Amino acid sequence: MLYFSKIKLVIIYFIIIILTLFSLTNFTNIDDKFLFSKKVNLGLDLQGGSYLLLEVNSHPLIKQKLQNKVLSLRKYLKDEKIKYKNLKLNNEKISFQLDVNEISKFEEFFLNKKNLINNYFQQYRSYEMDFSVEETFVTISYSKYGFIEIKSSALEQSLIIVRKRIDEVGTNEPTIIRRGNDRILIELPGLDNPNRIKNLLGKTANLTFRLVSDDESDFGSELMSYEDSEKQLKISKRVMMSGDNLVNARPTFDNLNNESVVSFTLDRVGAMKFGRVTTDNVGKRLAIVLDNKIISAPVIREPILGGNGQISGSFTLQSASDFALLLRSGALPAPLNIIEERTVGPDLGEDSIKSGAISLLIGFLLVIVYMLYKYRFLGIVANTALIINLLLLLGMLTILEATLTLPGIAGIILTVGMAVDANVLIYERIKEEMRTEKSIIHAFDMGYKRAQSAVLDANITTLISAIILYFLGSGPVKGFAVTLGIGIITTLFSVYFFARHLSSFYVMKNKDKKISI
């Protein structure tokens, strides 16, 4: 077991050299295009930054979906000539009253033969909606499964759009993960002023184009305020075109009017719609509405047929950039509410790094002194292996571009202790073998072999715990699990390959001398 082939030695030291180079990149500034350009990222607790916990408010989405179902239901009842009254939506339930003579007809067509109404109401499914008929009153609502499906879908869509918005802002290594059934956790290391992010995430970005109503008695309209003032306009409820047809949006500068504007490009369907709307309504005002606030309401001077346009609205360069970003990323399916917010200052993060580094240094020096005192030359071997172990661990974290947190530093400190523990088990076993074996080579060989099961058992059980922590834990716990798990692997490598090779080299050179441990 003490013999190492040349191929094995080349592989061992190649791995050590490569991972050492990767670990050293964390202490140097290297061109991003260079091979060894990866680095370990510092987490929120070490670098400082902002923490946001968002909750997806799915109630407006549920209300909107039920309103769409009301329209389909009204059409169905009309087509089937079923008499009804008091059809309304209240408390996320659709309710209406049937004529006594219409109940059997409604049950026959609506309840017993749902497949007959699929052409009218594609989204009605027995597992998605609940129906109840009490005397002449009918109630339709989402089932428990339906609510879960809507919330889950809204959360997944929101995650995608939140990532797009944050990535376009250019924040450094953000953490955006799902929390439970309706929450999103965002960590933004290095960002100590999250106001711009909060403003971007606080907007649903539901863009619509509607005509300004000229008729004061028009009941198909509503009063709406401008985004930056209390001024109101009467806007038609009819949506001429939505932001779904938007392909691209970017901030530009209008030299003619000396102001920042947002230029947008529509897809083929959107260009046709926009061309038709502007052709039919020349001379009228077209309101551009974002989240029920008027951005601008310009007069249509001529038909716009190219699928390109501009939105003006007293933008600054920053607000124009943010508005274009919102349009590019798409509308959120439901509003997001900030339910928890924290900011960690860079000074606090720096103190955490110093405390962790001091803890690691003190523990490392105590271990080195103890191993030198207890095992003499083999203590030097163990200490050298310990240094290599830390370099291998840092190299692996660098390759993975892992995020190092304060619990992660605790995992590294624990790795130091476990690495020493493995060497102590082996050396104590070698001592026992030397009491009965005359051959020092055989004593070392058997010591490594017979200690292997104890070392593997201790490390594998800890590795299993680290894996469980990783999959069941959250943020900081995962950071601890990652460093601990990788530390166990590098510990076994450094002890059973690197340290064993140094020990075998030492024993072979001194096989005819008395070696004391």
H, E, C per residue of 241-271: EEHHHEEEEEEEEECCCCEEEEEEEECHHHH
CA distance 54 to 163: 13
The domain that contains 496 carries what CATH number?
A: 1.20.1640.10
State pLDDT tens for residues 426-476. Answer: 888 888 888 887 777 888 888 888 888 888 898 899 999 999 988 887 667
Give 494's pLDDT tier (boundaries 50, 70, 90). Answer: very high
Q: Over pLDDT 90: what percentage of the chain?
A: 11
Q: Is the pLDDT of residue 37 over 70?
A: yes
Is 151 a domain residue? no
Contacts of 315-319 with C-beta under 8 Å, sequence gap 24+, read 315/251, 315/259, 315/260, 315/261, 315/262, 316/260, 317/251, 317/260, 319/260
Quick one: pLDDT at residue 15? 93
What's the CATH code of the domain at 70? 3.30.1240
Which pLDDT value is given to residue 344? 72
The CB-side HSE value for 200 (13 A sphere, CA atoms) comes to: 28
Please check whether residue 246 lies inside any domain of the structure.
Answer: yes
On whether residue 438 sits in a domain, the answer given is yes
Across the range 262-278, mean pLDDT stands at 90
What is the mean predicted confidence (pLDDT) over 471-500? 87
Cα 469 versus chain centre, distance:
19
Domain that includes residue 413, residue range: 6-47+346-509
Are 418 and 488 spatial neighbours (Cβ–Cβ below 8 Å)? Answer: yes
Do 305 and 359 belong together in one domain? no
Please check whether residues 502 and 359 belong to one and the same domain: yes
Distance, CA of 465 to CA of 101 (rounded, Å): 67
The pLDDT value recorded for residue 111 is 53
Q: How many residues does the chain have?
A: 517
Instruction: Name the band, by pLDDT with cuts 50, 70 and 90, for residue 516.
Output: low
Q: What is the pLDDT of residue 343?
A: 78
Do 302 and 411 share a domain, yes or no?
no
Residues 374 and 495 reside in one and the same domain: yes
Phi-psi domain of 86 (left: phi exceeds 0; alpha: psi -120 through 50; beta: other): left
Q: Higher-confidence residue: 46 or 187?
A: 187
Q: What are the backbone dihedrals phi and psi of residue 452, each rounded to the nearest 5 degrees, phi first?
A: -60, -45
Residue 113: which pLDDT band, with cuts at 50, 70 and 90?
A: very low
Average pLDDT, integer, range 81-89: 83
- Find the mean pLDDT for residues 361-377: 85
| Average pLDDT of the residues of the chain | 82
For the cut 90, the answer to whether the pLDDT of residue 490 exceeds it is: yes
Q: How many CA atoms lie within 13 A of 462 on its CB side?
A: 26
Question: What is the distance of C-alpha 9 from the center of its chain?
Answer: 42
374 in the same domain as 308:
no
Tell me, yes or no, whether 170 lies in a domain.
no
How do strand 49-56 and strand 336-344 relate by DSSP bridges? Answer: antiparallel
Q: Is residue 298 part of a domain?
A: yes
Q: State mean pLDDT over 348-360.
A: 75
- Residue 102 pLDDT grade (very low, low, confident, very high; cuts 50, 70, 90): confident
The reply to whether 420 and 372 lie within a common domain is yes
Please determine, for residue 61, whether its predicted confidence score (pLDDT) is greater than 70. Answer: yes
- If pLDDT is split at 50, 70 and 90, which confidence band does 116 have? very low
Among the candidates 126, 146, 166, a domain finishes at: 146
307 vs 411: CA distance, rounded Å: 57
- Point out the domain boundary residue: 122, 146, 170: 146
Indicate the residue among 309, 342, 375 that finishes a domain: 342
pLDDT value at 255 more than 60: yes
482 shares its domain with 351? yes
Statement to judge: residues 315 and 420 lie in one domain = no
**Residue 418 in contact with residue 487, Cβ under 8 Å?**
yes
What pLDDT score was predicted for residue 467?
92
**320 and 395 share one domain:** no
Residue found by looking up tokens 């080299």 in the block: 505
Q: What is the mean pLDDT of residues 74-98?
A: 83
Verify that 351 and 497 share a domain, yes or no.
yes
Residue 109's pLDDT band, with cuts at 50, 70 and 90, is low
Decide if 78 is inside a domain: yes
Q: Are residues 338 and 351 in the same domain?
A: no
pTM of the model: 0.64
List pLDDT tens digits, range 143-172.
888 888 888 888 988 898 888 888 877 666
Flag whether pLDDT at 364 surpasses 90. no
Sequence-distant (≥ 6) Cβ neighbours of residue 411 within 8 angstroms: 479, 480, 481, 482, 483, 484, 487
Question: Does residue 194 lie in a domain region?
Answer: no
Is position 278 within any domain? yes
CB 59 within 8 A of CB 147: no
Overall domain count for the chain: 3
Taking the C-alpha atoms of residue 84 and residue 92, their distance in angstroms, rounded to an integer, is: 20
What is the full DSSP assignment across 266-321? E-HHHHHHHHHHHHHTTTSBEEEEETTEEEE--B--S---SSEEEEEEEE-HHHHH
Residue 263's domain is classified under what CATH number? 3.30.1360.200
Would you say residue 349 has pLDDT above 70? no
Same domain flag for 243 and 355: no
Model pLDDT, residue 117: 40
